């Protein structure tokens, strides 16, 4: 394959220039290499942008156990349409992925998909917060990290023991930071929007106290800690301060948290219900600042499919979460790039290079010798998000028109998605 006359953005080395990309045997070839056979599959990249394939380290594909919402195949299809070439699945399936056998089972299912599929395993057995898993065995089976995402781990001594063991493996642990003691009803911020719904909601202290606690435990153990889907200004500040002395701290922001505020709950109802909830405009601006100054070093979707029937329930009964793979880059482009919060190179670093490095994946770069995992974007086209390749449709962004369009997703030099 050869991609000609395209703007190449490689966050690994700061490259941003017009050039050609040559692919040989699934790898990025040196730009000065020539081979007539490489020209057999040519993409004219005039006016287009090429970046490393996106890497999402926070997706829920609901497989096993809840495949009426999503399965690995449909999740991979949605990922490819969003420009993602690698994804890391969360472990809160039914049953949770807490054994080597389950790790191997989901990886075997993922091996037949065009997108590169990875998985985490749980921190605690059954995600019950009572007993540690056997981390080395899970890692040997193929788990790339550990998380009880969806449930906070409340036992501090247990968590410190987990951090100490996981640190020895040099693998990341990603945590959902919400203390249920501060939550009356989940999925909506404790504020005016909650009051208008007749609810109390989730106090911001639910997140703040857990982040502060876990940053201290991480400092004691040296574990690679990723704070998931950060939503509060105070949480961003705590991570910023911790990073001054601990390079093992990471944080991710979800597109919905840097795009919407809690007023969206009144407009979209359960489609804007998520954990942690959407917060105020000051929190959103703090997330923008955290993304800009490097405090938040990863953008991850928290792609969380739910059926129409589930989301059609009363607000309190409906599950939290939204799908996000197909809109993630488009939201980053419109909200962060167009508002001059981040450059395109910054966005590719946050959505590709940094998550790949945290999880030790061979991805996130267009340097010679790297895997030819590429996304190609047209900044002058538009995307009408009228339907999803996911099994679910729980997104407040359905029906929206976005600036820009993902034209191709390429894995190992093979086109796995091409826009119509």
CA distance 151 to 58: 14
Concerning whether 302 is annotated as a catalytic residue, the answer is yes
Render 255-303 in DSSP notation, one character per residue. Answer: HHHHH--TTHHHHHGGGG--SSPP--HHHHHHHHHHHHHTSS-EE---B
Helix axes 281-293, 233-243, angle to 10 degrees: 20
Render 61-87 in DSSP notation, one character per residue. Answer: --TTT-TTT--HHHHHHHHHHTTEEEE
Catalytic annotation, pick one of 262, 302, 346, 373: 302
Q: Are the beta carbons of 109 and 334 closer than 8 angstroms? A: no
3-state secondary structure of 165: helix
Helix axes 205-221, 233-243, angle to 10 degrees: 10
For the annotated catalytic residues, the residue numbers are: 302
């Amino acid at each position: 394959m050869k991609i000609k006359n395209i703007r190449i953005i490689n966050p690994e080395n700061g490259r941003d220039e017009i050039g050609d990309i040559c692919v040989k045997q699934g790898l990025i070839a040196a730009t000065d290499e020539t081979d007539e056979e490489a020209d057999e599959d040519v993409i004219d990249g005039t006016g287009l942008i090429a970046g490393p394939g996106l890497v999402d380290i926070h997706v829920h594909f609901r497989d096993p156990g809840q495949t009426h919402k999503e399965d690995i195949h449909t999740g991979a299809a949605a990922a490819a349409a969003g420009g993602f070439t690698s994804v890391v699945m969360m472990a809160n399936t039914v049953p949770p992925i807490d054994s080597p056998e389950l790790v191997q089972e989901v990886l075997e299912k993922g091996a037949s998909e065009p997108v590169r599929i990875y998985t985490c395993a749980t921190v605690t057995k059954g995600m019950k917060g009572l007993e540690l898993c056997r981390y080395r065995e899970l890692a040997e089976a193929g788990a790339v990290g550990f998380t009880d995402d969806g449930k906070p781990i409340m036992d501090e001594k247990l968590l410190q023991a987990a951090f100490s063991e996981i640190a020895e493996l040099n693998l990341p642990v990603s945590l959902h930071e919400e203390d249920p003691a501060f939550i009356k009803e989940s999925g909506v911020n404790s504020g005016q929007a909650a009051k208008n719904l007749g609810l109390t909601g989730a106090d911001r202290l639910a997140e703040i106290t857990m982040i502060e606690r876990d940053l201290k435990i991480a400092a004691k153990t040296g574990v690679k800690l990723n704070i998931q889907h950060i939503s509060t200004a105070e949480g961003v500040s705590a991570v910023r301060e911790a990073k001054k002395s601990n390079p093992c701290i990471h944080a991710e922001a979800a597109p919905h948290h840097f795009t919407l505020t809690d007023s969206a709950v009144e407009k979209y109802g359960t489609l804007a219900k998520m954990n942690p909830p959407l917060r105020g405009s000051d929190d959103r601006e703090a997330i923008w600042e955290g993304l800009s100054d490097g405090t938040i070093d990863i953008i991850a979707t928290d792609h969380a499919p739910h059926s129409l029937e589930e989301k059609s329930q009363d607000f309190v009964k409906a599950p939290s979460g939204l799908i996000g793979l197909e809109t993630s880059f488009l939201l980053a482009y419109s909200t962060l790039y167009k508002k001059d919060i981040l450059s395109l190179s910054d966005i590719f670093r946050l959505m590709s290079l940094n998550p790949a490095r945290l999880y030790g994946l061979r991805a996130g770069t267009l340097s010679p010798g790297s895997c030819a995992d590429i996304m190609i974007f047209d900044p002058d086209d538009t995307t009408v998000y009228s339907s999803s390749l996911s099994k679910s449709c729980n997104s407040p962004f359905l029906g929206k028109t976005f600036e820009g369009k993902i034209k191709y997703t390429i894995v190992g030099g093979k086109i796995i998605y091409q826009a119509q």
